[in-house]
């Protein structure tokens, strides 16, 4: 059984958004894991391309906003193929991404991804985020 284009997009979004296992998605849609893999491979780059203009950058920040910033480690598959993706802190491979939101929870900014082994403070410093805000307005947790 084949998936319709609409179903393929839903599969890809479910895979990306919830990090669902391809075999589980295949079972839900009554298709093979290979069919799900093809849908994810086909649609993921297109979804990224379509949404890319909506990802806030440092230039979009309002310096009057109070923001909460934290790092996250989106998982990745083949960490042995690329140096630096393994995060000892999380005991998992991934990419270090810094995210900022306002006090209401609205997304304000997302950094470019860095290797998972990068410490949050270095990732934040490298991102250019701190260059936008005066130093006396920044509060944060301790750097370990």
Per-residue confidence (pLDDT) for residue 141, from 0 to 100: 57
Q: Tell me the percentage of the chain whose pLDDT exceeds 70.
A: 84
Per-residue confidence (pLDDT) for residue 23, from 0 to 100: 93
- Burial class of 130 by CB neighbour count within 10 A (0 to 12, 13 to 18, 19+): middle
pLDDT over 50 (residue 144):
no
Q: Where are the beta strands (DSSP E) in the chain?
A: 67-72, 86-87, 92-93, 95-102, 107-110, 114-115
Q: What is the mean pLDDT of the chain?
A: 83
pLDDT digits (tens, 9 = 90+) for 85-139: 766 676 677 888 999 888 898 888 889 888 888 888 898 889 888 888 766 665 6
Exposure class string for 55-76: b at 16+ Cβ within 10 A, else e: eeebeebeeeeebebebebeeb
């Amino acid at each position: 059984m084949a998936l319709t284009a609409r179903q393929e997009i839903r599969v890809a979004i479910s895979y990306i958004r919830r990090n669902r296992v391809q075999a589980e998605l295949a079972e839900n849609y009554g298709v093979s894991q290979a069919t799900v893999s093809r849908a994810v491979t086909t649609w993921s780059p297109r979804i990224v391309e379509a949404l890319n203009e909506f990802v806030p950058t440092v230039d979009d920040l309002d310096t009057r906003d109070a923001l909460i910033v934290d790092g996250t480690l989106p998982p990745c598959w083949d960490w042995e193929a690329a140096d630096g993706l393994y995060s000892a802190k999380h005991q998992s491979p991934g990419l270090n991404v810094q995210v900022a939101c306002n006090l209401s929870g609205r997304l304000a900014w997302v950094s470019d991804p860095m290797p998972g082994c990068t410490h949050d403070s270095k990732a934040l410093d490298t991102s250019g985020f701190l260059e936008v805000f005066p130093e006396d307005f920044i509060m944060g947790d301790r750097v370990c």
